[in-house]
Amino acid sequence: MIDSYRFGHVVIDGKGYSHDVIILPERIIANWWRSEGHRLKLEDLKDIYDVDIDTLVVGTGAYGMMKVDEDTRNGLEQKGIKVVTAKTKDAVDIYNNLPKERTAACLHLTC
């Protein structure tokens, strides 16, 4: 569960993170980097390829600056993964209301 979010910081299950993160059903990947900072590409999500999920919640930043490439969205949907995008504050609420067993999230914490 995501306990809280503010610009540049998120608390997940009581532990704080100050860099972008990927939340998988079984683990958290801290210090997540993308090949192009504010563009989300399939190659940036290699850590979720072998994870059995139905939904990926994408937090696009406090101001929604990170954009999901159409190829990324299409590639995930071809794998049967529904992609939900929202500003990170809203993405946190969405993630917290979904079943965690088959849901992942990738959160851009700043802009």
SS3 readout for the chain: CEEEEECCEEEECCEEECCCEEECCCCEECCCCCCECCEECHHHHHHHCCCCCCEEEEECCCCCCCEECHHHHHHHHHCCCEEEEECHHHHHHHHHCCCHHHEEEEECCCC
Identify the segments of the chain with pLDDT beneath 50: none
Q: Would you state the pLDDT for residue 65?
A: 97
Q: Would you state the pLDDT for residue 50?
A: 86
- What is the reported pTM? 0.96
Read off the pLDDT of residues 60-84 as tens digits, 9 standing for 90 and up.
999 999 999 999 999 999 999 999 9
Q: Look at the domain 2-107 and name its fold.
A: Hypothetical Protein Mth938; Chain: A, (3.40.1230)
Q: Would you state the pLDDT for residue 41?
A: 97
Q: Would you state the pLDDT for residue 37?
A: 86
